[in-house]
């Protein structure tokens, strides 16, 4: 029964198997994961991100560090969609945005665990954040305070999410920026940066 349950998990930490108290670790991991999921879902129900969102996201990061991806594919997808839904909140502050970037990077970095058939990510959601994070002039005037390393977190997030863009994403990205391709305009340089950032170059051959 225990072996059957282990086979349903995405990618648990294999080194825990060699510890003499492995069964205890398994029980603890299940209880901890249920507690994390329960509290993350409560944030949505209460429509209140502070202070629980940073706390339980941090605990999820610790959980993955200790136990690996010791959850089922269904729960894996639910976690990814949870953080995508948080990112879609209007006027979400940059601190919570960075948390979402870091968590999505961690949850989507192993593409063999989640396939394109399982998940599709809308590139336009990340594009809106790109304009806020990378091309925000308010920070230079001290009108807003950006979290440390938010740009690196965002770029890593885009890189991890790119394989899950839809099959039409490439055409949509080209259509979005083609009107700005004027070699005599400085915006053209920004367009090249966006293309480098968003164009999904690792899609299956049949989609290219």
Tell me the β-bridge partners of 69: 11
Query: Is the pLDDT at 140 greater than 60, yes or no?
Result: no
Q: Which residue, 76, 53, 62, is CA-closest to 29?
A: 62
Residue-wise pLDDT tens digits, 91-138 = 888 999 999 999 999 999 988 999 888 999 999 999 999 988 887 656
Plot region of 166 (φ>0 → left; ψ -120 to 50 → alpha; else → beta): beta
Smallest CA-to-CA distance from 33 within 8, 59, 3, 2 is with 59
**Residue boundaries of the structural domains of the chain:** 2-167
Structure tokens at 76: 């894996």
| Two structure tokens written together for 102 | 């870091």
């Amino acid at each position: 029964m225990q072996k059957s349950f282990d086979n349903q998990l995405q990618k648990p930490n294999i080194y825990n198997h060699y510890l003499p108290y492995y069964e205890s670790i398994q029980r603890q991991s299940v209880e901890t994961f249920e507690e994390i999921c329960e509290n993350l879902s409560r944030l949505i129900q209460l429509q209140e991100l502070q202070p629980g969102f940073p706390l339980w996201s941090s605990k999820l990061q610790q959980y993955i560090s200790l136990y690996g991806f010791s959850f089922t594919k269904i729960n894996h997808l639910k976690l990814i969609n949870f953080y995508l839904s948080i990112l879609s909140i209007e006027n979400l502050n940059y601190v919570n945005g960075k948390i979402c970037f870091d968590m999505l990077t961690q949850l989507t970095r192993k593409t063999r665990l989640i396939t394109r058939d399982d998940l599709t990510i809308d590139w336009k959601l990340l594009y809106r954040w790109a304009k806020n994070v990378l091309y925000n002039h308010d920070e230079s005037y001290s009108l807003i305070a950006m979290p440390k390393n938010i740009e690196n977190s965002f770029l890593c997030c885009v890189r991890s999410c790119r394989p899950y863009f839809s099959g039409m994403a490439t055409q949509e990205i080209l259509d979005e920026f083609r009107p700005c391709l004027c070699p005599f305009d400085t915006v053209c340089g920004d367009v090249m940066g966006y293309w480098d950032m968003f164009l999904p170059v690792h899609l299956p051959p049949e989609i290219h």
